Amino acid sequence: MKPEGHEGTILQKSKNYVKFHRLLAKAEADGRLDGKHRCPVCGMRYLAAHEADDCCRIED
Ligand SMILES: [Zn+2]
């Protein structure tokens, strides 16, 4: 990775921040924030148990 200036680092961080909030808004719209079922790995909430199970499932 190339070393970047201070401004570049801040820009990258704010970009990630915006991305995070978009994901959060989407999760909220999907009802995931108050879903009854939680992924045991990352804690993301889902309305359906099978969705929570599939979230971070490791493929065989
Ligand atoms: Zn997960």
CA 35 to chain centre: 15
Would you place residue 56 in the very low, low, confident or very high pLDDT band (cuts 50, 70, 90)? very high
Domain boundaries, the chain: 7-55
Distance 46 CA to ligand 1 centre (A): 10
9, 15, 17, 39, 58 from 3: Cα distances, Å: 9, 18, 21, 36, 34
pLDDT tens-digit series, residues 1-39: 666 666 667 667 788 888 888 887 777 776 666 778 988
pTM higher than the cut 0.85: no
pLDDT tens-digit series, residues 37-48: 988 899 888 888
Distance 1 CA to ligand 1 centre (A): 28
Residue 56, sorted as left (phi over 0), alpha (psi -120 to 50) or beta, turns out to be alpha
